[in-house]
């Protein structure tokens, strides 16, 4: 009887140790790399030399090995997130994900405004609405091996980065 109790306790102890090991691995214990804060701005430099904030889209940081670290570009052209490891990174930026298909948000039946109001209607200013506005950028910036965008992430909070894209 004592042997069975001891065997049962041993089995329970082994199960507990295995569960704790799985939890440690899943929670990231032992990753070895510190997680850091990254922020900055994305700007498109047009052919005529004017600058335009990239006001929505996705940015990804690719370490030399491992999975990419994705983030969102805000409607003001900035990005900010934590969890990026230290080291050299390749960077991609894409805006196609916020592009609305033709007719997005339009009803199949268009109501006509009253004649006295029709001439005074203005287009909404989407930039002031806090909604991302699609800015077309060259597709090369969405490809890891073609973007040409790189940075070095240091430990802790990093200086803001600026990615200047050209048409």
Give me the mean pLDDT over the 80-109 stretch.
Answer: 83
30 has pLDDT over 60: no
- pLDDT tens profile 69-89: 999 999 999 999 898 999 999
**Rounded CA gap, 111 and 122, in Å?**
16
In this prediction the pTM is 0.66
For residue 131, the model assigns a pLDDT of: 83
Q: pLDDT-derived band of residue 35, with 50, 70 and 90 as boundaries?
A: confident
């Amino acid at each position: 009887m004592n042997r069975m109790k001891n065997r049962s306790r041993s089995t329970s102890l082994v199960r507990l140790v295995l569960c704790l090991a799985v939890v440690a691995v899943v929670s990231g214990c032992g990753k070895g790399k510190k997680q850091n804060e990254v922020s900055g701005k994305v700007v498109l430099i047009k052919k005529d030399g004017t600058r335009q904030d990239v006001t929505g889209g996705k940015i990804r940081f690719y370490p030399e090995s491992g999975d990419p670290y994705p983030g969102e570009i805000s409607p003001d052209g900035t990005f900010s997130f934590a969890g990026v490891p230290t080291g050299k990174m390749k960077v991609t930026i894409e805006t196609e994900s916020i592009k609305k298909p033709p007719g997005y948000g339009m009803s199949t039946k268009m109501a006509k405004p009253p004649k006295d109001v029709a001439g005074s209607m203005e287009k909404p200013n989407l930039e002031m609405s806090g909604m991302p506005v699609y800015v077309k950028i060259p597709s090369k910036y969405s490809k890891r091996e073609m973007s040409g965008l790189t940075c070095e992430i240091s430990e802790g909070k990093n200086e803001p980065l600026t990615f200047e894209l050209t048409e």
